[in-house]
Structure 1
């Protein structure tokens, strides 16, 4: 906790602790943030920055993603919502993650239901354990929710809010230096490809292939109505009684972030995953291959609490002579859907207050010298 010295003026105190929020409020200049990545983490951070910032604050957010909304590894994921991990009996802080995740899902669904023209999004989310999310629907809906809150706050007569999608990549952080008050890096495995962070993050990369299977029209024994999605050695994400997604493979140390899957890679994935899936759902042997996509996971190191994401200010890693604050939200691995609501909120609150102590120490301990590669 930071104790304020009553003998120091508010402006001096703000400068001392490098708080762009307070400095912006006092000078009335717009506060500018860049959020890198428009997947689970980036969209959650953008939403919470808009929601948690004071109404009278002039705020501009640029959301960078060369693939567009949900175009990276998050958009390839199966969308299974599960609070348990095969390696950890109970996921660390699972209850808090679950609550914030469900809240963000509800916000996204409300945004869709209020838009008559938002008909391109179709799909349902089953809120029971093991439910399946139409992830692209969620990404588009959450971005729409961000746009709606910008309109609402700007129309209220208080501070002006802005959110702009920049459909381009950021290859080096130095490209942004001097342009923003803070940069929040939510790039998943691609964070380690930034030259300023390469080799400095304790992330393990793993390429995963997800298969799309469909039941042929001449077979009548479809997946039972209201049958659950299944999480096991292989997982089944059910998309109706004649369509499902099957995942996922693990190719450790891969640097291939392309979503495209070759014929040979798809064939290898089928050979690996079908025997596992048929052990829990024998009928899957009758289903036909309909396509495949792949993504590159960013897996954090294993701790006594499990594989925990990486959060915190990274100026000490990048160098202390920087003009703006750089923050990281990464290492969500294969549980981005569960983690994104709570961790996006924590990150936004830390950025707005310039106070890393808001974040639980378990999520920032990776920055200790002994824990880095």
Structure 2
């Protein structure tokens, strides 16, 4: 987890104006970027500006969600609830939920792009819900400082569609270089330096590990493996190394890929989608609710949207929902 974040963007004037409205942000011109993060290339930072959020954080998503769920279980025990907190089951049709533990007061679909795989649901989703495929890479500084070259045939294409793929470093590739041939900052992410919210982003996890991403391949076909998309892992790695050359000494440890739902932009930004999902004649099913389109802003919206959805299930209506959440029902989003 990085304890500060540097947002770098070509829209320099917009960043300068934004800094005036956000007390927690400080505008940093291109000429001063190297003082914030040693090793940024002049070519990469030319014409850019940045916002430094000294209190910003780059979170480990899995660690955050594990902690959130553990706290939910703890609070439920303190309240003495008899609710079943967690149950793993696999269904391909919502009607299968009525077998066994049911009936339920409501069903909440919070499964991202996977919602389109449920029988009887896909045909009732709005056609403009964008499916975006993408990959991210976890990089680690090798024990001996050798670079890990990314070979397309080893990173994608021939692999089974697993969520995470390990990629071994290749010391014999043309791209591999000894750390001794690189600048001093190549030995690790500078101590106290912020993570980068740029294109691509570089989220530091200590001095010897980081996550870079993410590719943005749209529209995503239902059966598309994001690893085979036109923008390859090698291109993503090259972009990150062009921004911070010290990554040339780091190897690719894992690749994560997936498909996400991205909501359409409005005058209020890109709020997610929520509300009741009309599935037609389905008397055996309780009310079905949709939570989707959180995109990269899930950390901002997830608790708010979950509370509104839970209130809707208990109330049996959605009159309390802001109209922005229901815009997916209107043609064009």
TM-score normalised by the chain length of structure 2: 0.64
TM superposition shift of 1:243: 0.7
2:151 equivalent to 1:185? no
2:319 equivalent to 1:357? yes
Question: 1:255 matched to which residue of 2?
Answer: 222
Aligned residue for 1:302, secondary structure, equals coil
CA contact (8 A) 1:184 1:328 kept: yes
CA contact (8 A) 1:309 1:332 kept: yes
2:135 equivalent to 1:214? no
Question: 1:295 matched to which residue of 2?
Answer: 258
Question: 2:304 matched to which residue of 1?
Answer: 342
1:271 pairs with one of 217, 234, 241: 234
Distance 2:230 2:198 in 1: 21
2:210 pairs with one of 234, 238, 244: 244
TM superposition shift of 1:163: 2.6
CA contact (8 A) 2:8 2:197 kept: no
Q: 1:216 to 1:176 in 2, by over 3 A?
A: closer
Structure of higher CA gyration radius: 2
Structure 1 vs Structure 2 CA RMSD = 3.4
Aligned residue for 2:295, secondary structure, equals coil
Q: 1:280 to 1:294 in 2, by over 3 A?
A: same
Distance 1:248 1:151 in 2: 38
CA contact (8 A) 2:2 2:194 kept: no
> For structure 2, which runs of at least 5 residues remain unmatched after alignment?
16-52, 145-178
TM superposition shift of 1:327: 0.8
Q: 1:191 to 1:299 in 2, by over 3 A?
A: same
Distance 1:352 1:320 in 2: 20
Q: How many residues align?
A: 247
Q: 1:87 to 1:223 in 2, by over 3 A?
A: closer
TM superposition shift of 1:293: 1.4
Aligned residue for 1:143, secondary structure, equals helix
CA contact (8 A) 2:274 2:290 kept: yes
Distance 2:84 2:300 in 1: 25
CA offsets, 1:30-82, max 9 Å, x none?
xxxxxxxxxxxxxxxxxxxxxxxxxxxxxxxxxxxxxxxxxxxxxxxx99999
TM-score normalised by the chain length of structure 1: 0.58
Q: 1:87 to 1:303 in 2, by over 3 A?
A: farther
Question: 1:284 matched to which residue of 2?
Answer: 247
CA contact (8 A) 2:58 2:195 kept: yes
Question: 1:139 matched to which residue of 2?
Answer: 65
Q: 1:268 to 1:291 in 2, by over 3 A?
A: farther
> For structure 1, which runs of at least 5 residues remain unmatched after alignment?
1-77, 91-126, 155-159
Q: 1:304 to 1:286 in 2, by over 3 A?
A: same
TM superposition shift of 1:186: 0.3
Aligned residue for 1:346, secondary structure, equals helix
Distance 2:133 2:107 in 1: 27
CA contact (8 A) 1:274 1:285 kept: no
Aligned residue for 1:301, secondary structure, equals coil
Question: 1:168 matched to which residue of 2?
Answer: 89
TM superposition shift of 1:211: 0.7
CA offsets, 1:298-347, max 9 Å, x none?
11233333333110011x34447455211111111222222212111221
CA contact (8 A) 2:3 2:194 kept: no
Distance 2:191 2:215 in 1: 27
Q: 1:311 to 1:268 in 2, by over 3 A?
A: closer
CA contact (8 A) 1:153 1:161 kept: no
CA contact (8 A) 1:210 1:293 kept: yes
